[in-house]
Amino acid sequence: MILLGKIARALKMDSDEMEELFSDCSQIMKMNYYPPCPKSKQVLGISPHSDAAALTILLQVNETDGLQIRKDGKWVPVKPIPGALIVNIGDMLEILSNGAYSSIEHRVIVNPTIERLSIATFHSINPDAEFGPAHSLIDPPHKPALFRRETAEKYYQNFFAHKLNGKTTNLDFMRIQNGLRGNHSS
């Protein structure tokens, strides 16, 4: 909540709106174990994706490389630093900020001889709540909403119905294109 409060301030977003959205937030913890893989060049630990949540706090538990982020079209390794937490912007925050923050695309590669462990904690709004670009950041026609509104429940249903596929799954579902609503039929 401290991080989200600072993000709201940086965005000049109404901090009460952010607080209300996350007052009853969901926090899901996921532990990832990547066994050593002799065919490491041919497989991925996790396919390219951006996280559906608003913020992910990630601990690389041991010091095995593997996490990579996509920056300017290139995969850049995120070196594990003992005890350091990584904060990733997820798609929900890209939508809430109406595109001011961009979620980070990432993937995990595997190591031929060493196992890897990570713990990710995903922070999202209350699953029963509806969300879209923050009301305090929208001012049509000068600042139109780039994304539509949807319940977190339907947003996650769409996410879990698809394979991980770069940044497309959640953002395309919510994006308003040329005055048309995003693709929410699939």
30 part of the active site: yes
67 binds, among ligand AKG, Fe ion, none (CB under 5 to 8 A by kind): ligand AKG
Among Fe ion, ligand AKG, none, partner that 32 touches (CB below 5 to 8 angstroms by kind): ligand AKG
Q: How far is the CB of 58 from Fe ion (least distance, A)?
A: 8
- How many CA atoms lie less than 13 Å away from 167 in the CB half-sphere? 18
Pair 182, 148: CB distance under 8 Å: yes
49 included as an active-site residue: yes
Q: Is 163 a catalytic residue?
A: no
Of 106, 87, 90, give the one whose Cα is nearest residue 3.
87
- Which residue has the CB atom at the shortest distance from ligand AKG? 118
Q: Which residue is nearest to Fe ion (CB)?
A: 51
Alpha helices in the chain (DSSP H): 2-11, 15-21, 91-96, 152-160, 168-174
Other beta carbons less than 10 A from residue 29's beta carbon: 9
Sole binder of Fe ion in the list 7, 51, 108, 137 (CB under 5 A): 51
Measured distance CA(59)–CA(43) in Å, rounded: 22
Question: From the candidates 30, 71, 79, 154, which is the catalytic residue?
Answer: 30
Q: Interface with ligand AKG by CB under 6 A: which residues? A: 30, 32, 46, 51, 58, 60, 67, 106, 108, 118, 120
Given the rule CB under 5 A, which residues bind Fe ion?
A: 51
Active site residues: 30, 49, 51, 106
